[in-house]
């Protein structure tokens, strides 16, 4: 089984990813949790999530994880 050809590579650059995470940190914990749940649901119903969606999921998780301390 090869790599799916119908998926676009919409990955964020390092600077875009850093800015995305920074913007998340300005939101309330409730809003970030809701965003995380939305992204998880998107990933759940796709055969193969796009690189950007995975980046958003991880960045959102990282913000939530930092706040738990």
- For the segment 17-36, what is each residue's pLDDT rounded down to a tens digit? 999 999 999 999 999 999 99
In the chain, domain spans = 14-67
Least confident of 23-27, 32-36, 41-45, 57-61: 41-45
- In this prediction the pTM is 0.83
* 46-53 LR contacts (CB < 8 Å, sep 24+): 47/4, 48/4, 48/7, 50/7, 50/8, 50/9, 50/10, 51/9, 51/10, 51/11, 52/10, 52/11, 52/12
What is the average pLDDT value for the chain, to the nearest integer? 90
């Amino acid at each position: 089984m090869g790599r799916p050809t119908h998926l676009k590579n919409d990955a964020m650059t390092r600077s875009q990813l850093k800015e995305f995470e920074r913007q998340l940190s300005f939101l309330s914990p409730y809003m970030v949790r809701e965003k995380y749940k939305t992204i998880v649901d998107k990933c759940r119903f796709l055969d193969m999530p796009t690189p950007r969606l995975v980046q958003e999921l991880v960045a959102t998780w990282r913000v939530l994880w930092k706040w738990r301390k």
